[in-house]
Amino acid sequence: MLALWFVTHQTVLSTLNEGAESEVDVDIAGLVDIYATSGQGELERRIADRIALTPSEGSTPHYLLADNAGNVIAGDIASWPGLDARVSEAGVIAIGDQSEAFARAVQLGPDLRLLVARRIDGNDAVLRNVTLAFAFAGTFFVVLVALLGRLAALKLQRRIGQINSAFRDPEAESELEQRIEGDEIDELASHSAKALRRQRNLMEAYKETSEQLAHEMRTPLSHLDNRLLKALQSGPEAKVGERLVEARAEIKRLVQTLESLLDIASSKTRRGDAAGLEPVDLSALISRICDLYSGSAEETGHELVCDVEPGVVIDGEEHQLGRLLTNLLDNALKYVPAGGRIEVILFQGPELVIRDDGPGIAPSDRLRIFERFYRGRASMNETHGSGLGLALAQAIAERHGLSLTLDYTDRGASFRLS
């Protein structure tokens, strides 16, 4: 609107100035013809008549007939302005104290020159009217466009909100597909609905397969464990009984490995998904777990120190967060020798640090400790453990939008959840 006003303003101003210049030139041509045919006396009378017939205000013509010395012969302009009549010079001159006019000077004879001027100060009123028209019409136009734009934005926001709602609540998928209007937003909504449907189908297939796999593996393992238990109850020889106990322990390890793998896969597939997350008092949860582990730490000869800042709350699944913490504490109790110190520190952020003064983790193992089934050199001689504890802890952390890392320390190991 400002650019259009500027162009219009300049165009109107140029047109008015060109009109004044054209009127002056026409007027001069008529007066020159009168002088050429009737002489100076007739020219003076005609100038006097024109001055008498025109109003004193408004866009009126003004004249000056003078000799080369500037002495006034006829006309209503008091003195000769700085225009050269010999070259028919034109320009803007002052008429009185506050008026301006466009004027042109011509040389009529050896000692006679003529100046014709037409006032242009009335142009300001025209330009003011143009500005006012643009101000009122432009304001109305801008307000109208703003309202229409706001309505369009609200409609777009509502339709985008439906897509976001469908991602937050998969049950809204069918409603999303029903709102079809045929533009790009509806095409996006359709693609989103199809993607959600594919994701739901994949999740259902994954869940069904996982449950079936778990059932198919747990059932025969449970039958095998029962048979081994009956064999032990029949009183076999000592060596045979020892082998049976080892076999039962291996079965339990296989079941735990299966459950850990399923939990890791489940956590990874739900990474970044806020569905099912509720506010969890992390301070209270860690305090309870520290109380439970304090007895085990005393039995194994470890010093367990818990420094928990109250009031730390995050969105999550309490059971899974508890499992993450117990996995880290189990590792610490397993690998830190008796007499060692284990610290659990929680502060706002949230920031959770579990560190110990044990043998630590070899530099070559630091980059791989969170891989599934990877066991560092310090745990190679262990007969129990499947190398899934830290992998599961990291998967649970990622599912909650958290980061589980290993700090670089000179002594012991320090895990940080943030």
**Residues 341 and 242 grouped into a single domain:** no
User: Does a structural domain hold residue 148?
Assistant: no
Q: Are 152 and 133 in contact (CB under 8 A)?
A: no
Domain containing 260 equals 184-269
Q: Is the pLDDT of residue 69 over 90?
A: no
How far is the C-alpha of 68 from the C-alpha of 417, rounded, in Å? 101
Strands (E), 130-288: 278-281
Q: Is the pLDDT of residue 325 over 70?
A: yes
User: Does a structural domain hold residue 144?
Assistant: no
Local structure of 339: helix, strand or coil: coil
Lowest mean pLDDT among 37-51, 56-70, 134-148, 257-271: 257-271
The two tokens of residue 119 are: 């006032």
Pairing outcome for strands 341-347 and 303-308: parallel
128 pLDDT band (50/70/90 cuts)? confident
The CATH number of residue 395's host domain is 3.30.565.10
**Residues 263 and 376 grouped into a single domain:** no
**Residues 299 and 392 grouped into a single domain:** yes
**Residues 248 and 304 grouped into a single domain:** no
**Residues 6 and 105 grouped into a single domain:** yes
Lowest mean pLDDT among 112-116, 135-139, 287-291, 294-298: 294-298
**Residues 255 and 365 grouped into a single domain:** no
pLDDT in tens, 268-318: 666 666 566 788 898 999 899 888 888 888 888 888 888 888 888 888 888
Look at residues 244, 269, 294 and tell me which one is the last residue of a structural domain: 269
User: Does a structural domain hold residue 177?
Assistant: no
How far is the C-alpha of 371 from the C-alpha of 392, rounded, in Å? 9
58 pLDDT band (50/70/90 cuts)? very low
The CATH number of residue 56's host domain is 3.30.450.20
Look at residues 217, 242, 269 and tell me which one is the last residue of a structural domain: 269
Q: Is 385 exposed, middle or buried (0-12, 13-18, 19+ CB in 10 A)?
A: middle
Look at residues 269, 301, 325 and tell me which one is the last residue of a structural domain: 269
**Residues 323 and 348 grouped into a single domain:** yes
How far is the C-alpha of 167 from the C-alpha of 192, rounded, in Å? 8
User: Does a structural domain hold residue 135?
Assistant: no
User: Does a structural domain hold residue 155?
Assistant: no
Which helix (H) or strand (E) segment is 117 a member of?
A: strand 112-119
What percent of the chain stands above pLDDT 90? 7
User: Does a structural domain hold residue 178?
Assistant: no
**Residues 65 and 191 grouped into a single domain:** no
Residue predicted with more confidence, 245 or 265: 245
22-to-54, 64, 113, 121, 214 alpha-carbon distances in Å: 18, 18, 20, 16, 100
Residue 179 DSSP class: -
**Residues 10 and 64 grouped into a single domain:** yes
Residue predicted with more confidence, 7 or 160: 7
370-to-55, 210, 334, 389 alpha-carbon distances in Å: 99, 23, 17, 8
Residue 346 DSSP class: E
Q: Is the pLDDT of residue 85 over 60?
A: yes
The two tokens of residue 132 are: 């006012």
Q: How many CB atoms lie within 10 A of CB 149?
A: 10
User: Does a structural domain hold residue 189?
Assistant: yes
**Residues 262 and 315 grouped into a single domain:** no
Q: Which residues contact 410 (CB under 8 A, 6 or more apart)?
A: none
What average pLDDT does the segment 383-392 reach? 66
Lowest mean pLDDT among 23-32, 87-96, 144-153, 166-175: 166-175
**Residues 286 and 262 grouped into a single domain:** no
Location of structure tokens 């009217």: 129
Per-residue confidence (pLDDT) for residue 105, from 0 to 100: 92
Q: Are 304 and 297 in contact (CB under 8 A)?
A: yes
* Count of domains for the chain: 3
Q: Is the pLDDT of residue 146 over 90?
A: yes
**Residues 85 and 197 grouped into a single domain:** no
Average pLDDT, the chain: 80
User: Does a structural domain hold residue 410?
Assistant: yes
How far is the C-alpha of 396 from the C-alpha of 270, rounded, in Å? 9
What average pLDDT does the segment 206-235 reach? 74
The two tokens of residue 140 are: 């109305």
